[in-house]
A and B are shown apart, each in its own frame.
Chain A
Amino acid sequence: MNDKETELISRCQQGDQDALKEIFNQYHKKVYRIAYGVVRHREDALDVVQEVFIKLFRSIKNFKGKSAFYTYLYRLAMNTAIDHSRRGKKGTFFSLDEEGGFQPSDSPDKRPDQIVARKEVEEKVRWAIDQLPQDQKETLIYREIEELSYEEIAEATGCSVGTVMSRLHYGRKKLQVLLKDMVNPVRNSSGI
């Protein structure tokens, strides 16, 4: 944690909203990636981003600086996204009439069949991720989407590097089975 970040956090702990805005500007895209990685839906991900920064403002007084700030924020983002996903908000993507206009992918250059196909893929990935135990889900998202190192994941999840590797291995194995059509299309199309 550098001096500027320490000062920002300290100001935020004293209730300075401008400091929170700076933290938001710095981290909102990373939080969005984690949120989208879990909920797989644009509006839900935006809701999660909003919720995370409101929660951060309320809870930042509890941050003692023992771990890196980003791991604290990522943990908050991950827990909020998983809670949001459990509550099952919005979630179904198949209705183009209801959802089509709100998706970022629904730009004019995309055909409706492409939009539907993408939503179906997203729904399937979300379904597969939801089949994983929470620890494997978190570890996979930190690694595959946010590309944290094993050590960073261990810090964010509060476990050892060995446990991280094990969770990654079993999580990947399970997802490869659940998403075999998407993960290995060449093999599948050749009928092997």
Chain B
Amino acid sequence: MKNSCSSVSPLIERYFDRQATDEERALVERHLPVCTTCSEKLMALEGLKNALKAPVDEALQEETFPWVWEKIEKNIRMERKPSWWNLLRSWLDLSYLLRKRVWIPAVATAIVLALIISPFLFQKTPSYLEASVVEYVESDTHNVMVYDLETGQVTVIWLFEEPEEETFSS
């Protein structure tokens, strides 16, 4: 390999990063003492690395990591603790039952119970006897109303006098 700038310059970065082969390293080390351009290139790489790395090293050296692990631990514990909403959801969660196919006998039992109870629930309990006027007869002195009770077995005939004031008013 030639010991010239054009052949060494592309190797400078690999040399600086300690990724060059032994042969490449030897070539660069022979070239650097006689080439200002390549030496400055190497110095610029060192300067940049120093600008990026030195403050990080310094910060790490002084760092005590106050409560960092404790905060991580607390955060994980909080995540693991179920909220009241999740607790409620787990209580209401029917997926377990559905998975276990318990719902088939459960639904069957509910239907049977509904059939047994429904006659009692929907039974009619009339509070009074409904009646309908069949005939209404008016005269000057008396009125007659004939009712048929709902059952049709009883007929009521109601005879009453017309009130005087009504007579008077009419």
Contact = CB atoms under 8 A, between A and B. Distances in A.
A158 B68 CA distance: 30
A54 B72 contact: yes
B47 interface: yes
A50 B47 contact: no
Given A42-B63, A46-B65, A50-B75, A150 B17 contact: yes
A33 B71 contact: no
B55 A165 contact: no
Given A46-B65, A50-B68, A165-B14, A184 B55 contact: no
A24 interface: yes
A104 B48 contact: no
B114 interface: no
A28 B59 CA distance: 14
B72 A33 contact: no
A122 B55 contact: yes
Contact of B69 (A24, A42, A175): A24
A45 B79 CA distance: 23
A118 B40 CA distance: 26
Main secondary structure of the interface of B (DSSP, over half): helix
Contacts of B49: 144
A100 to B, nearest CB: 14
Contacts of B51: 121, 125, 179, 182-183
Nearest to B63: A104
Given A49-B65, A149-B19, A105 B48 contact: no
B13 A37 contact: no
A96 B68 CA distance: 24
B52 interface: yes
B59 A17 contact: no
B97 interface: no
A74 interface: no
B44 A121 contact: no
B129 interface: no
Interface residues of A, number: 47
B60 A32 contact: yes
B76 A17 contact: yes
A105 B56 CA distance: 11
Interface in A139-178: 140-141, 143-145, 149-150, 165, 168-169, 172, 175-176
A54 B80 CA distance: 12
Interface string B103-146: 00000000000000000000000000000000000000000000
Contacts of A168: 13, 17
B48 A172 contact: yes
Contacts of A185: 47
Contacts of B64: 104
A40 interface: yes
A28 B40 CA distance: 36
A110 to B, nearest CB: 10
Contacts of A45: 59
Interface string B35-76: 000001001110111011101101110111110110111011
5 contacts: A49-B65, A165-B13, A168-B13, A183-B51, A184-B43
Interface of B: 13-14, 17, 19, 40, 43-45, 47-49, 51-53, 55-56, 58-60, 62-66, 68-69, 71-73, 75-76, 79
Which 9 residue pairs spanning A and B have beta carbons closest together? A104-B62, A183-B47, A144-B52, A182-B51, A183-B48, A53-B72, A36-B56, A144-B49, A54-B75
